[in-house]
């Protein structure tokens, strides 16, 4: 008995896995996207289930899986095209196979006709394929005598054959005393459809009739009983398992006769157990296969929370249900379909990228139409104008929807950090706690993927340089364990990721002396704290006295900044000595499209990301102040803001130099510092498709990317933080150092610009 159950259990466990494999494969199978490896995996799964089933003598199961397998074989041979209909049929077949396995697991026969519909559908699929005579003939053939494909199955059967021999041997050795043979135990599983009562049939009478045939133990299953609120008193939602011990002369037909009028409306399984004494113990206990119907075997009769009531056969079984009763073939497994109605689909990334690209082109086209209509006098073509407004609106929404498809939560990156922190802590002998927040913040997949390296560097840096040793922390009255906090949040159309530590903060004196030592800063330069803090992002800068295993190779923060800016992002650091440091990464949510303001400078057009713009204003002469040896500033909203003349920066001729005659666009970087850009004109707001400058040309300081405007002109998308850096270097000779300012847009003019600005 134990051996038998163990061998069978192995088979059922294996089959459950195979079913899952087949199901997963089937769900991924879609027309036009057929992965032959998947198809083969499905085929093998079905094939193996069939092979094992044959060895254990589950003939119904074998017959059905053979049908299934035949179709899969044709799919494998590309003889049947993969259609949505076919996939549906195959998925259904997989469900039926699961049910057949469940029946086999319970040791009961599948109800007659349980597989008919599905078999018909499978054969239909074969026939519809025109897949030749072999295909249509095969299903009729009984499993053992099939095509060459099945030969390898015989090997499996051989293995199982040995198992069967062992099982039989075990069975023989354990063979109980010969059964009295005059009593037979029947197991009847009776699952009526919910509308049974509406045809005037009364299950209680049938149960009573069964009791007249012998000793009946009747278990009523209430697990399908709906909540009282959902209960329809005219529907039946009870089912029963009757264990009938009757005299041998009470034949199967007597039992069938009881259900004569309801056989079609019910799921009835009638099985004769072996003669009585051999089977007093319930069927071998085993973990139910995943798809086992909830109340088939006695060992699994009562699902947790449900009640099983013994009835004497007279109970008024007026249960009720809302789901229209088990069908003959979906019957006992009907509840399992929930898992198949999936709410996600897998889509190849290329398809999404094509979509993103198309949307980008559409944005440009829309901008072009808008451009053409700009000159139309107001009031004319009113409907066209309105239609265009709507188109613009829809384009924006479409863009956002498409972008959201590419969006992923940053948790995939954040989740790697605890391990990193543990390793770093172990290496440095520090105690570190990692706290994360905003893991569910979503951002473009590319951004997520490219966050791994920068974040790794930053967290290492925080632990290695930022946090003190436990003893030192204790002396300073801090908890021994330092905390590194990793957070993500959306802020004005960008994602802002912060790495905060509660360590010692940046040692500015040390940073400054190191920078001077390395020739990055000229001795005597007057720098703000913030400027000193940001020195750590300079190439070749490292403050670690000794190069440690973790960081200190002097590439870390430099690489971080480069990585981040290649994503159109920026990094800033804020540090308070003794209290810790905060690194702030700001990244665009998407790399494909942005809302921008088109401005003109001379003949050139530029795009400013809308998220950077505070306001634009035409300053009065009184607002402007020239600083000696420094750039001009403007008094705006009560604070002095540095003015940047874009035409000077980029060497553009024929542009307005006097800010009072042009416009000043007040922009703000992520860290809150402001800049006044002097431009000729603000042309209007527009969605622009970002085209990488680096992949098409090369990287330029102060420029994030390029785009194509509605009139077909190429415009550069300005990088505000980059502009600030440039203006600092070009306007402030003290900190200019050896760094050469960015190449100007029209490259040959770089010389003249230098002369102009220095």
Partner 1 sequence: MAKTILSVDDSASMRQMVKLTLSTAGYQVVEAADGREALAKAKAGAFNMVLTDLNMPNMDGLSLIRELRGLPAYRGVPIVFLTTESDAGKKNEAKAAGATAWIVKPFQQDQLLGVVRKVIGA
State the residues that interact with partner 1 by CB under 8 A: 197-202, 204-206, 208-209, 234, 258, 260-261, 264
Residue closer to partner 1, measured from CB, 199 or 752: 199
Residue closer to partner 1, measured from CB, 78 or 199: 199
Nearest Cα neighbor of 461 from 550, 543, 394 is: 550
Q: How far is the CB of 242 from partner 1 (least distance, A)?
A: 16
Nearest Cα neighbor of 256 from 270, 273, 266, 243 is: 270
Q: How far is the CB of 206 from partner 1 (least distance, A)?
A: 8
Residue 571, classed as helix, strand or coil, is strand
What are the DSSP E strand ranges found in 622-726? 624-626, 632-636, 639-645, 663-668, 674-679, 681-689, 703-708, 714-718
Q: How many CA atoms lie within 13 A of 421 on its CB side?
A: 23
Residue closer to partner 1, measured from CB, 196 or 488: 196
Residue 128, classed as helix, strand or coil, is helix
Q: How far is the CB of 234 from partner 1 (least distance, A)?
A: 7
Q: How far is the CB of 321 from partner 1 (least distance, A)?
A: 17
- Give the largest Cα separation in the chain, rounded: 118
- Asked if 459 and 424 count as a contact pair (C-beta separation under 8 A), the reply is yes
C-alpha 271/C-alpha 109 separation (Å) is 7
Residue closer to partner 1, measured from CB, 198 or 376: 198
Q: How far is the CB of 182 from partner 1 (least distance, A)?
A: 26
How many residues can be counted in the chain? 758
Residue closer to partner 1, measured from CB, 124 or 208: 208
Q: How many CA atoms lie within 13 A of 686 on its CB side?
A: 31
Residue 512, classed as helix, strand or coil, is helix
Tokens for 45?
């799964």
Q: How far is the CB of 103 from partner 1 (least distance, A)?
A: 26
Q: How far is the CB of 214 from partner 1 (least distance, A)?
A: 17
Residue closer to partner 1, measured from CB, 153 or 265: 265
Residue closer to partner 1, measured from CB, 318 or 508: 318
Residue closer to partner 1, measured from CB, 207 or 690: 207
C-alpha 502/C-alpha 580 separation (Å) is 4
CA 40-74-36 angle, to 5 degrees, is 30
| Other beta carbons less than 10 A from residue 399's beta carbon | 22
282 conformational bin, left if phi > 0, alpha if psi -120 to 50, beta if neither: beta
Residue closer to partner 1, measured from CB, 20 or 204: 204
Torsion over CA: 423, 424, 425, 428 (sign): positive
Residue closer to partner 1, measured from CB, 97 or 196: 196
Q: How far is the CB of 197 from partner 1 (least distance, A)?
A: 6
What b/e readout covers 616-647, taking b as 16+ CB neighbours within 10 angstroms? bbebeeebbeeeeeebbbbebeeeebbbbbbb
Residue closer to partner 1, measured from CB, 314 or 696: 314
Q: Give the Å distances, CA to CA, from 374 to 368, 371, 675.
A: 10, 5, 30
Q: How far is the CB of 332 from partner 1 (least distance, A)?
A: 23
Question: DSSP characters for 55-115?
Answer: HTT-HHHHHHHHHHHHHHHHHHTT-S---HHHHHHHHHHHHHHHHHHHHHHHT-PPPTTTT
Residue closer to partner 1, measured from CB, 212 or 372: 212
Q: How far is the CB of 411 from partner 1 (least distance, A)?
A: 55
Q: How far is the CB of 208 from partner 1 (least distance, A)?
A: 6
Residue closer to partner 1, measured from CB, 202 or 453: 202
Nearest Cα neighbor of 686 from 446, 353, 381, 369 is: 369
Q: How far is the CB of 317 from partner 1 (least distance, A)?
A: 12
Q: How far is the CB of 300 from partner 1 (least distance, A)?
A: 31
Q: How far is the CB of 313 from partner 1 (least distance, A)?
A: 10
Nearest Cα neighbor of 485 from 513, 510, 466, 507 is: 466
- Asked if 391 and 370 count as a contact pair (C-beta separation under 8 A), the reply is no
Query: Phi/psi at 363 (nearest 5 deg)?
Result: -60, -40
Nearest Cα neighbor of 128 from 97, 163, 89, 93 is: 89
Q: Give the Å distances, CA to CA, from 248 to 107, 179, 186, 236, 274.
A: 20, 12, 11, 33, 11
Residue closer to partner 1, measured from CB, 203 or 731: 203
SS3 content of the chain, % helix, strand, coil (to 5): 45, 20, 35
């Amino acid at each position: 008995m134990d051996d038998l159950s163990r061998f069978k259990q192995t088979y059922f466990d294996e089959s459950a896995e195979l079913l899952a494999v087949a199901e997963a494969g089937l769900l991924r199978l879609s027309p036009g996207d057929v992965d032959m490896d998947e198809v083969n995996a499905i085929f093998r799964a079905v094939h193996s289930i069939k092979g094992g089933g044959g060895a254990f003598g589950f003939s119904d199961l074998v017959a059905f899986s053979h049908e299934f397998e035949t179709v899969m074989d044709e799919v494998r041979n590309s003889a049947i095209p993969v259609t949505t209909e076919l996939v549906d049929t195959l998925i259904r077949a997989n469900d039926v196979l699961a049910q057949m396995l469940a029946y086999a697991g319970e040791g009961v026969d599948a109800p007659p006709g349980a597989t008919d519909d599905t078999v018909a559908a499978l054969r239909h699929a074969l026939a519809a394929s025109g897949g030749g005579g072999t295909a249509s003939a095969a299903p009729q053939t009984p499993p053992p005598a099939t095509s060459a494909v099945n030969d390898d199955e015989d090997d499996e059967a051989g293995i199982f054959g040995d198992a069967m021999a062992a099982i039989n041997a075990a069975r023989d050795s354990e063979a109980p005393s010969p059964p009295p043979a005059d009593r037979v135990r029947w197991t009847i599983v009776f699952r009526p459809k919910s509308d049974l009562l509406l045809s005037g049939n009364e299950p209680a009478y049938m149960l009573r009739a069964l009791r007249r045939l012998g000793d009946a133990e009747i278990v009523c299953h209430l697990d399908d009983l709906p909540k009282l609120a959902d209960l329809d008193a005219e529907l039946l939602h009870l089912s029963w398992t009757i264990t009938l011990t009757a005299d041998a002369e009470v034949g199967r037909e007597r039992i069938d006769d009881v259900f004569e009028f309801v056989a079609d409306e019910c799921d009835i399984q009638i099985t004769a157990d072996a003669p009585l004494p051999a089977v007093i113990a319930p069927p071998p206990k085993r973990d139910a296969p995943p798809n086992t119907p909830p109340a088939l075997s006695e060992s699994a009769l009562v699902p947790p929370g449900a009640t099983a009531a013994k009835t004497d056969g007279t109970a008024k079984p007026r249960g009720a249900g809302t789901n229209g009763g088990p069908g003959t073939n979906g019957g006992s497994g009907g509840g399992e379909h929930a898992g198949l109605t999936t709410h996600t689909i897998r889509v190849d990334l290329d398809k999404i990228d094509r979509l993103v690209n198309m949307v980008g082109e559409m944005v440009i086209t829309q901008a072009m139409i808008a451009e053409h209509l700009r000159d139309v006098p107001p009031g004319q073509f009113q409907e066209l104008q309105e239609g265009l407004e709507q188109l613009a609106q829809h384009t924006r929404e479409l863009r956002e929807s498409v972008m959201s498809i590419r969006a992923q939560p940053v948790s995939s990156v954040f989740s790697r950090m605890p391990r990193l922190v543990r390793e770093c802590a172990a290496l440095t002998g520090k105690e570190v706690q990692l706290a994360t927040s905003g893991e569910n913040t979503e951002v473009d997949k590319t951004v997520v993927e490219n966050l791994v390296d920068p974040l790794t560097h930053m967290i290492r840096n925080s632990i290695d340089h930022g946090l003190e040793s436990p003893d030192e922390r204790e002396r300073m009255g801090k908890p021994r364990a330092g905390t590194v906090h990793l957070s993500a949040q959306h802020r004005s159309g960008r994602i802002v990721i912060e790495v905060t530590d509660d360590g010692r903060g940046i040692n500015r004196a040390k940073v400054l002396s190191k920078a001077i030592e390395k020739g990055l800063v000229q001795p005597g330069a007057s720098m703000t704290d913030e400027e000193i803090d940001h020195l750590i992002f300079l190439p070749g800068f490292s403050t670690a006295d000794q190069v440690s295993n973790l960081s200190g190779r002097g590439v870390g923060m430099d690489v971080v900044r480069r990585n981040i800016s290649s994503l159109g992002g920026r990094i800033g650091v804020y540090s308070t000595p003794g209290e810790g440091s905060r690194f702030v990464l700001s990244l665009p949510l998407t790399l494909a499209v942005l809302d921008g303001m088109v401005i003109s400078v001379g003949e050139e057009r530029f795009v400013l990301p809308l998220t950077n713009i505070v306001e634009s204003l035409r300053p009065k002469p009184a607002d402007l102040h020239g600083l000696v040896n420094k750039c001009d500033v403007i008094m705006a909203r009560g604070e002095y803001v540095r003015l940047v003349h874009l035409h000077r920066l980029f060497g553009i001729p024929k542009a307005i130099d006097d800010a009072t005659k042009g416009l000043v666009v007040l922009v703000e970087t992520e860290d809150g510092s402001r800049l006044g850009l002097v431009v000729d004109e603000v042309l209007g707001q527009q969605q622009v498709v970002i085209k990488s400058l680096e992949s098409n040309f090369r990287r330029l300081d102060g420029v994030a990317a390029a785009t194509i405007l509605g009139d077909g002109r190429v415009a550069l998308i300005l990088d505000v933080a980059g502009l600030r850096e440039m203006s600092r270097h070009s306007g402030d000779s003290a900190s200019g150092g050896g760094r050469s300012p960015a190449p100007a847009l029209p490259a040959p003019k770089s010389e003249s610009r230098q002369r102009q600005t220095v």
